Chain A
């Protein structure tokens, strides 16, 4: 099992560009999450999903969009990249139990 995979590992964007961060899981978990981690800070929840077809905003959703058409995939879309979105992005999953499983992260720089 691959667990939680994220692509790409690194990306540099110019201001105003758009991109999609991919997250995939093969554990059949219903819950999926997107977090951002700024330097020296904890994780802030961007969006989450409790199952296919259902998404909801977290603490810092502005500038992002998500979709959840399948259980396996939970892509995060940045439409108009801004320097404030420079961060490390982590995807995570959870089943009915309490443990969250994290992907390795995507390091995004917006110049």
Chain B
């Protein structure tokens, strides 16, 4: 079946850039997503990229997709304490979305 992998934890200093990485196995993925989950809350869509794109920028967020290596990354510029959360990578094919295990981002003031 489909598999999506992420590292579990990332710690950065406030003001630095954060880069969260993700790998996936399903070559038929159509969309790839980044979701943010704050404590006690559901998931909120941050950004997405269509599978025929290499890069997407949205304010402080930059998504890079290497389709050949099935590698997705999320870069957060000027990371703030409010960015502390768990970030989930997800890939969609047909009717289903498969989520990674999540990366907990800790921002140190």
A: residues with CB less than 8 A from B are 4, 31, 33, 35, 40-43, 45, 48, 50, 58-59, 90, 92, 98-100, 102-105
Contact = CB atoms under 8 A, between A and B. Distances in A.
A99 to B, nearest CB: 5
Contacts of A50: 95
Given A50-B95, A102-B43, A104-B41, 16 more contacts: A4-B42, A41-B102, A42-B88, A42-B100, A42-B101, A43-B88, A45-B97, A48-B95, A90-B43, A98-B30, A98-B31, A99-B45, A99-B48, A100-B43, A103-B42, A105-B41
A29 to B, nearest CB: 13
B48 A90 contact: no
A48 B99 CA distance: 15
Interface residues of B, number: 23
A92 B8 CA distance: 24
Contacts of A58: 96
Contacts of A33: 97
Given A42-B100, A42-B102, A59-B1, A105 B88 contact: no
A90 B101 contact: no
A105 B95 CA distance: 22
B44 interface: yes
